[in-house]
A and B are shown apart, each in its own frame.
Chain A
Amino acid sequence: MANMYNDKVMDHFMNPHNVGELEHADGIGTYGSPVCGDMMQISIQVKDDKITDAKFKTFGCGSAIASSSIATDMIIGMTIDEALELTNKQIIDELGGLPAVKVHCSVLADHAIKSAIYDYAQKTGKHYKGLEGFDPNAEEEDHHDIPEEEE
């Protein structure tokens, strides 16, 4: 089991960075659901359109926690526009890869980050190009529709 994840993933899972909830968050976003087995909440602090701090809380498996940890590392210091362009693929690449079966279901960060920025934009009345067409309450895509494999 342990060797299904590489050392970097295991390190972020065992010693996750940025765990918690920002006391004076400028934006909070949540994505996923406990029924699906993974749910991530992210809170951000923004100054001059730049993310100055981010924290996460995640219910989920090893890769969900590790990807939350590294994604928050990645967005701290980014401009809002840069953070909105962050993709799950970039997060997985930064982790050095994840088992194929985990790729679709456990990486919630890009959507959760967008939700947090959406919350910030709503509160401040700001507009960002990367949020066009984004609906934080959209039905979660069915990310479990992977063909069944033999156990």
Chain B
Amino acid sequence: MRQVYLDYSATTPVKKEVLDAMLPYFSELYGNPSSLYSIAAESKDAIAAARKQVADLIGAGEKEITFTSCGTEADNWAVMGAADALKNKGNHIITTKIEHHALLHTCEFLEKHGYDVTYLDVDKEGRVAPAALEAAITDKTILISIMFINNEVGTIEPVKELAQIAKKHNILFHTDAVQALGNIAIDVKELGIDMMSMSAHKIYGPKGIGALYIRKGVRISNYLHGGAQENKKRAGTENLAGIVGFGKAAELAGNNLQAHIKHTSALRDRLIEKVQAEIDHVYINGSMKHRHPGNANLTFEFIEGEAMLLYLDMNGIAVSTGSACSSASLTPSHVLSAMDIPVERIHGTLRFTVGDMTTEEDIDYVVSTLKNVVNKLREISSVSSKKGW
């Protein structure tokens, strides 16, 4: 049976060049970078080279990149580190209703510790209004954190405008760019970003390695305490092979950026066009103008997402859903809810994300399978276009 992976926003396979770059750092060049002998120096050099590769991808200086264990740690550190460092200045944080849980749950934690958090609304396409941000700022606001690209619907936020507003009011601006990295050109200087979270496994690198960009001059408190690694900013023995892999993946992402965007957006558009031509009662969620190149978030009316996902899985196709029934918490997607999409439609939502390994044949197979799956589930369903909801 054909296997088609269309969940590249969840994670990506490690590219061969990346794995090849990593392999020597497990059993041959395994020295602890903090040690003083030769083998350790090689580790130290490898980390420095990887740091430059990641910095180059986003137009940052090498000293502005600190490696973390994942994107979630980068988000936690940025928010908690800023909240702690600036607690004498204020206790107000502004973010949005559509952030990743790494951000939302960190903010909820801070709310229990005396911080006030404003969660900005988004429009029907999932975009934050810069005017709404400006209106939410108070003299207690110490941090604004707004994601670069939403992980579910792929909406690109107006980061440059938002960062400008933050700068105008002398407030730190952080963005979670885990979905944006490698999918859109990012120049942190040009965009005016103070802190940015990144992750390797979304750009064909390994899991378990992320980074936080901290603009030169920005001071936040440490999150992990211990040894003097990472220029005394992030303790813990470095994930050497992971860092090397992240560096290589970043280099490839930079070199391939335009080809990657062209390839994924063409396949994504093919998917959307074919689905719309072959299946009725389908809605596209998010913005078509400001969108992640590989993201198609679609609602199939009158049926439920987990059921679709399982049928697709039985046909070798991997996608994800915003349906409550597939989440451990049994709550429907907070992103689609914030976009005012009716709950019964959220239940019928699937996210398809294509990547570098996706082919036209994959898309055609997915659409023909999907058509059968949707038809079958609509035959079983107690609601329909005739009966209505």
Contact = CB atoms under 8 A, between A and B. Distances in A.
Interface of A: 1-2, 5, 10, 13-14, 16, 19, 30, 34-35, 37-41, 57-62, 64-65, 101-102, 105-106, 144, 146, 148-151
B330 interface: yes
A59 B303 contact: yes
B117 to A, nearest CB: 18
Contacts of A65: 307, 380
A102 to B, nearest CB: 8
B347 A34 contact: yes
B304 A61 contact: yes
A1 B309 contact: yes
A62 B314 contact: no
Contacts of B222: none
Contacts of A102: 325
Nearest to B105: A150
A59 B347 CA distance: 10
Contacts of A2: 310, 313-314
B328 A13 contact: no
Given A34-B347, A35-B343, A59-B302, A14 B311 contact: yes
A40 B383 CA distance: 9
A61 B306 contact: yes
A5 B326 CA distance: 12
Contacts of A19: 379-380
Given A61-B325, A106-B325, A151-B101, A35 B307 contact: no
Interface of B: 101, 302-307, 309-311, 313-314, 323-332, 343-344, 347, 379-383, 389
A151 B324 CA distance: 12
A150 B383 CA distance: 31
26 contacts: A1-B309, A2-B314, A30-B382, A34-B343, A34-B389, A37-B325, A37-B343, A37-B344, A38-B304, A38-B325, A39-B383, A40-B382, A41-B382, A57-B382, A60-B304, A60-B325, A61-B306, A61-B307, A101-B328, A105-B330, A144-B324, A144-B330, A149-B328, A149-B329, A150-B328, A151-B101
Q: Which of B302, B323, B327, B328 has the most CB of A within 10 A?
A: B328
Contacts of B302: 59
A60 B347 CA distance: 9
Contacts of A150: 328
A146 to B, nearest CB: 6
Contacts of A13: 307, 310
A13 B308 CA distance: 11
Given A59-B302, A59-B382, A149-B328, 4 more contacts: A37-B304, A37-B325, A58-B380, A151-B327
A65 B379 CA distance: 12
Given A59-B302, A148-B329, A151-B101, A14 B382 contact: no
B380 A57 contact: yes
Contacts of B389: 34
Contacts of B326: 1, 61
A101 B331 CA distance: 12
Top 6 A-B pairs ranked by shortest CB distance?
Answer: A34-B344, A61-B325, A57-B382, A61-B306, A41-B382, A149-B328
A59 B304 CA distance: 7
Nearest to B343: A35
Given A1-B309, A61-B304, A16 B380 contact: yes
B331 A148 contact: yes
Contacts of A38: 304, 325
A59 B383 CA distance: 7
A151 B382 contact: no
A79 B130 CA distance: 65
